[in-house]
Amino acid sequence: MGKKESPEIAFFRRKDIFCDAFNHLVFGSDFLDPNTLSEADTRSVLRDKVDQRQRDILKYAEYISEGRRYRIISGIELQNKVCYYMPVRVMEYDCRDLLRQIEAIQSKNAEAAKNQENGGANEGDNLYHFLKTDKILPVTTLIVYFGKEKWDAPTDLWGMYNLPSNANPSIPNYPTYVLDIGHLEMDKINLLSSELKLVSAVARRVIGEADDPFEFTYGMPGLDNMSLEASRLIQDFTGIKTVLRRGKKGGIDMKKKLLSIEEWKENCTAKGLQQGLQQGLQQGLQQGMKEGTKEVLGQISQMIKNGSTLADVQVYVNESMQQLEDLQEAASG
């Protein structure tokens, strides 16, 4: 039996989700065609050696430019902690995928050279087995971050360098694209067209604890009829433990489950406030009783110094004791 796929990988592996994330959060347009996606080998294999490191999701995709189709390799890496050297990690991921392509071409060219099918134009061609006409596919990576703290790590190599404000633009840079799903801006969420839009809106409220308008999160169509992959992902980061069952529409009503959590949170908050008020009132009454006792004793001492009769003192004491007893009863109740 194969290893069970995590809810995050199962969700972002879907073609519509994968393309929605890249098209609107990386490329800024309908760049990748979801109908052209195919799985790529996520293992890190260099010089016929399998590395322990492995990409989370890696796909071949196609895009159209000037009437021609071109291929690209796109990958998603999942994070739940902020990594402050992420640009270098992304460079390593991408470089390994580039080198793997070069090695495949070199192997093919070396075999062809043995059979004299492909002679190099110069000594370099024969030495490196990579010809002037050989081309490789570009690689781009998106980091999907599920942490509670906002992503504040550098998003390119320049952010890691110790550079002056007027640094020479010729110094190499490398961008890192990050989808901080718990803190994605509302205007960017509105650009999305798949269930990633719904998941991101819920994540903002649950993971990022954003005080968004209620309708922004729960007024979106489709929340009451979600796919199993999206429902499991929401279940994973919200902690909902109920069994996911399909409804009459064919999907899962996560809106009802999420609203029940909102209601529970409101009840807990109200109960906590009530307990806090009661505790504060009780402490205030107890403190008031202590202060009242001091005031009564001081007043009695002053009355005696001023020559008040015992009868007058007794009347004052009786009245004051009744007030203190009432205060004590209130404090204990």
pLDDT digits (tens, 9 = 90+) for 159-186: 999 999 898 989 999 999 999 999 999 9
Judge if 28 and 55 occupy the same domain.
Answer: yes
- For residue 1, is pLDDT > 50? no
Q: Which residue, 205, 209, 175, is CA-closest to 189?
A: 205
- Tell me whether residue 192 is in a domain: yes
Of 224, 242, 267, the one marking the end of a domain is 267
pLDDT value of position 42: 87
Judge if 215 and 328 occupy the same domain.
Answer: no
- For residue 312, is pLDDT > 80? no
Which range in 3-17, 149-163, 239-253 is most confidently predicted, on average pLDDT? 149-163
Q: How many structural domains comprise the chain?
A: 2
pLDDT value of position 307: 65
pLDDT: is 72 or 250 the higher one? 72
pLDDT value of position 172: 93
Judge if 150 and 294 occupy the same domain.
Answer: no
- Tell me whether residue 272 is in a domain: no
Judge if 65 and 30 occupy the same domain.
Answer: yes
Strands 38-39 and 57-65: antiparallel
- Tell me whether residue 194 is in a domain: yes
For residue 243 the two structure tokens come to: 């069994």
Judge if 241 and 298 occupy the same domain.
Answer: no
Q: Looking at residues 127-149, what average pLDDT do you find?
A: 93
What is the spatial distance between Cα 94 and Cα 96, in angstroms, rounded to a whole number? 5
Strand partners for 70:
63
Grade residue 242 by pLDDT with cuts at 50, 70 and 90. Answer: confident
Q: Which domain holds residue 300?
A: 282-332
The pTM (predicted TM-score) of the whole model is: 0.74
Of 267, 299, 322, the one marking the end of a domain is 267
Task: Identify the DSSP state of 156.
Answer: B
Judge if 71 and 185 occupy the same domain.
Answer: yes
- Tell me whether residue 73 is in a domain: yes
Grade residue 10 by pLDDT with cuts at 50, 70 and 90. Answer: very high
- Tell me whether residue 276 is in a domain: no
Judge if 182 and 294 occupy the same domain.
Answer: no
